[in-house]
Homo-oligomer: A and B are copies of this chain.
Amino acid sequence: MEKKTVGLSGAFKGNTAPKSFTKSSIKGTKFTIAISSAKGGVGKSTFAMNFALALKSTGSKVGILDADIYGPSLPKMMSIKEKPKSEDGKSLIPINQYGAQCMSIGFLVDEETPMIWRGPMVTSAIKTFTQKVLWKDLDFIVIDMPPGTGDTQLTFAQEIKVDGVIIVSTPQEIALLDVKRGIKMFDKLKVPILGLVDNMSFFKSEEGKNYNIFGEGGVEKVANDYEKKFLGKIPINIDLRIAADSGKPLFEKNPDHEISKIFKNIANKIKESFL
């Protein structure tokens, strides 16, 4: 990086990686699993909800924390319209839906209100959600991370004991660049990477023809190149999108759907790695 940098101020060259931080688990939870993508729009939230519900179906107690302050998807995808209660005016009680404990900034503001916030406000919101929410007896908390490699990622990596991260991506080259940046970030911040998922892998038309709309095999190749586990492919599936839009994730709607089985399979793999 030094070599290539031209004409930027000294501040830009500073190493912003953490030196030493005290990391705590999120209270009321055993294991924290972050779902990340670096690039947005790869189906990360859809993955997070279905994965969490698949994890729950294995007999674990599961919570979902929507950490995407700028673009919360959980309220819509999980059909939650109520606001969380607070008994002492300081802590928040998560909302139970489909058997999972849920929290999102979207519970606290109107659906269409943009959070026009600079970084420190985002950090403050993340701290509230990890320190002031009364998660109860969870085996796993699944964190739906925002895209990027900024404030939210740094806050989690520096202050919270994240037990593992799953990186989701579509297979086109331009998305893979973001995957590589994500892998390097988590490696640098010493957050274990549980594996990579190839999402929107291909599209099968009614005539049975497969179209590699976003390219082919890219995520698996990156996993191999970086010596990370490859967790599987999820095809583009209209049922999956319709279920997300309808407020009931496909796994909840139809656990026997071929796509649900892929989620179950990934959930089993992840669960095994924590036993």
Listed in ascending order, the chain A residues whose CB lies under 8 Å from chain B are 1, 4-9, 11-12, 16-17, 38-42, 45-46, 70-71, 73, 76-77, 83-86, 88-92, 108-125, 128, 132, 146-151, 153-154, 170, 172-175, 177-178, 180-182, 184-185, 188-189, 203, 205-207, 209, 211-215, 236, 238, 241, 244-245
Partner pick for A213 among B86, B109, B116, B238, CB 8 A cutoff: B238
Judge whether A244 and B116 touch: CB under 8 Å: no
Give the complex CA separation of A173 and B77 in angstroms: 10
By a CB distance below 8 angstroms, the chain B residues around A17 are 116
Give the complex CA separation of A114 and B1 in angstroms: 11
By a CB distance below 8 angstroms, the chain B residues around A16 are 116-118, 121
Judge whether B91 and A7 touch: CB under 8 Å: yes
Q: Please, could you name 28 A-B residue pairs with CB atoms under 8 Å apart, sorted by A? A: A1-B109, A1-B110, A4-B108, A5-B109, A6-B84, A6-B108, A7-B88, A7-B90, A8-B108, A12-B121, A39-B41, A45-B174, A70-B149, A71-B148, A112-B184, A114-B149, A116-B153, A116-B189, A118-B119, A119-B119, A146-B148, A147-B147, A147-B148, A148-B148, A172-B245, A174-B245, A205-B209, A211-B238
Partner pick for A4 among B83, B115, B128, B154, CB 8 A cutoff: B83
Judge whether A11 and B150 touch: CB under 8 Å: no
Smallest beta-carbon distance A109→chain B, Å: 5
Judge whether B119 and A178 touch: CB under 8 Å: no
By a CB distance below 8 angstroms, the chain B residues around A238 are 211-213
By a CB distance below 8 angstroms, the chain B residues around A244 are 172, 174
